Structure 1
Amino acid sequence: MFTARKLSEGVTFYSLPTKQFKTITLSIKFEAPLTEEAAGRRTVLSNILQFSNQLTPTNTAFRQALDELYGASIYLDSTKRGARHYLHLNADFVNDSYLNGSSVTEAVCELLQAIVRKPLFLTDAFDDSIFTREKKQVISRLDSLYEDKARFAQQRLLEIIRPNHPASMSASGNKERIERMTLEDLKEAYHSMIQEDKISIYVVGDIDEQQWNELLPTYLGFDPRTSLVIHSDIDTIQTAEGSTTEIQEMKQGKLHMAYETPVTGSSPLFPTMQLLNGIFGAYPHSKLFTNVREKESLAYYASSSFASSYGLLFANSGIEPAQKDKAEKLIDAQLEEIRSGHISDLEFVQTKSMLKNQLLEIRDSARGMIEVYDSYHEIDPEFTIEGWASKWENVSKESIQQLAKDIRKVHTFFLAGKEEN
């Protein structure tokens, strides 16, 4: 898919020339070890870098610059994967070939350079109120988790089964640590990002690779850095089985269940696990949806997900609190059906089809291709969309059944309303 070129030690340029898109999509990924403190600092940093640089020192100036660049889009965000934290700088802008002699590519690169290299907080002109405001925005984002009961229940389950572990750490950090964060902490996080982070730069579109080989060192060059060795997958930690119930002001109960598996994203069994998850609960034809929600009407929603970095399978549902025990038993029974080899041809074939179609649809999105390749190429250095799709074709019902026998339920978390206590 992508061609990789080392710009300097720890800095790699990934290019994908294609006439499929009229725009150019660029993504710079700054990668560092995940800690709660670093995550909070880097998330606040991403907020401030976006609208506060020496070229466009205000939000208004930044928006005006984008308008002058034919409506270019530039934004930053932060995410996590495994034990790694990412700060992303993303841009989408029109290809110069559609502008009748005009050029925006270098102007976009100049603005990106200002965002990365010339943040306003490195000058005396920086207003400390910006720092205070952006800290409050990140804290508000973390507080909003409490209002989304499904997300809250999932986070509590992770905190219980993986305390002080990357699985339960938020990509936005920890509220208390962010409240204590100082401007000097922000500057330290910035210098660490610029000098120490592993950096991947992706460019997709109808591009001249030689032009970008010259543009990137000019506008977005970075000094060599020691290559980080951070594993995407976290070794499985055995967790004792248990059950937790918590009470809040709410009506619908949230039943979240965690299962340990012997599989992570780098395992040869990962494609088999993707199919197992699809049959279990990832799709509308899956066992959880058809049997727990549709046939028995025990859940407002019922689905499963697989966290490949941590080897954890989850079953999540919204239920009437009085139905908790019955729903839990029925959810467990769906996994037992797979262990027993009760996988219908429809479930088997349709899951393969859904997985394949989802992956093939990624080709319609430049950003989607970047994210999928960035996730998969460490697992499979020869990764292609078509090549990975073929892996599912080689998986049998028997191998899914055998894998299901090695999956162990570890914890049930139930969030219910006060009147049901």
Structure 2
Amino acid sequence: MKKQLNVGIIGYKFMGRAHSNAWIKAPLFFDLPAVPVLKAACGRQEESLKEFAKKWHWEETETDWKKLVSRPDIDIIDIALPQQLHYDVAIAAAKEGKHIFCEKPLSMNSRQAEEMLKVCEDNKVKHYLNHNYRRTPAVSYARKMIDDGKIGRIFHWRCAYQQDWIVDPEFPLTWQLRKETAQAGPQWDLNSHAVDLAHYLIGDIATVSALTAHFIKERPLADETTSGNLSATAKENEKGEVTVEDAALMMVTFKNGTIGSFEATRFATGRKNRLTFEIYGSKGSLAFDLERMNELQYFSNDDEAGQQGFRTILATEAVHPYASNWWPAGHIIGYEHSFVHAVADFIKAIEEDTAIKPDFADGLKIIQVLEAGIVSAETGSQVTL
């Protein structure tokens, strides 16, 4: 009988659902050295928490996260919370010797990130930061192609993360739109994913120049009891100030000489969750679009003259990372599968005592880039990391 790892999850809305599905599915599709047990779910609203736990097969519920973290029967703490709550939970969990599976972005600032990393290292716990897009087969395969020299020396990185869920000025003032609870807008939420992909595929960033925009400065207050999954109900006749940016643009140089750009916005009308990147090199190019996440576009200078052009790689064959655990070639997978891949890798890292990436050290580097972007936008100056 395989060893069991008891999981305690804190947070049960959008990410709580995505994470729960991953804990359930990972041992069904991957040969894991240990089996995760959905031991306890934690949240503030007891009635809705119990409904969540019953639906997703969590054995118990708890409304005090400190009690959950201190339980001796819990091996893993899953932080499926907004970023303003990560610091306290992660610090406490690490001090209790719990392995940590944490949603992105890591923290509200680099000071918090540094301390979170240090406490995890001091207590020798595994710490994983869930930038799950690394684990889509097409993106993982892009990394392999780069490592294999398929596109040669890289000159350009172009990335855009575009959504449209707050274009309506009557959309309520949710926690994502307030600095005290979100730190920043798409620069934090969306560009954290984009910067992680850039670090993964290109390398570390050296300098940042940025600008931000504020399109709607006041919104109806949100009824927080109804908010979730990027939706909310507005309170009548009450408004508040939007204190984060609506869009952010960054231009960067990488330490290896590549130059790059990032666009992050929630005002790209018609774009629901479009994360794209383009990589241009001396021997070829790669392009990816999360809304077509099973596909990778590839151009090669080695193709015969007259037959050159971007080709579509359908990343569903066994040769592509993670794909062999799912369906026959051509049978595509979806957004939720990247979470399953993360859980599978995390459990292997715990049991085999190997590294898991991205971790809190990677999260710190991401936060430092995002902070540099905010400083650059405020001062009009280039920031060197």
Identify whether the pair has TM-score above 0.5, normalized to the shorter chain: no
Give the TM-score normalised by the residue count of structure 1. 0.25
Larger Rg, first or second structure (1 or 2): 1
- Select the structure that is richer in strand: 2
Give the TM-score normalised by the residue count of structure 2. 0.26
- Select the structure that is richer in helix: 1
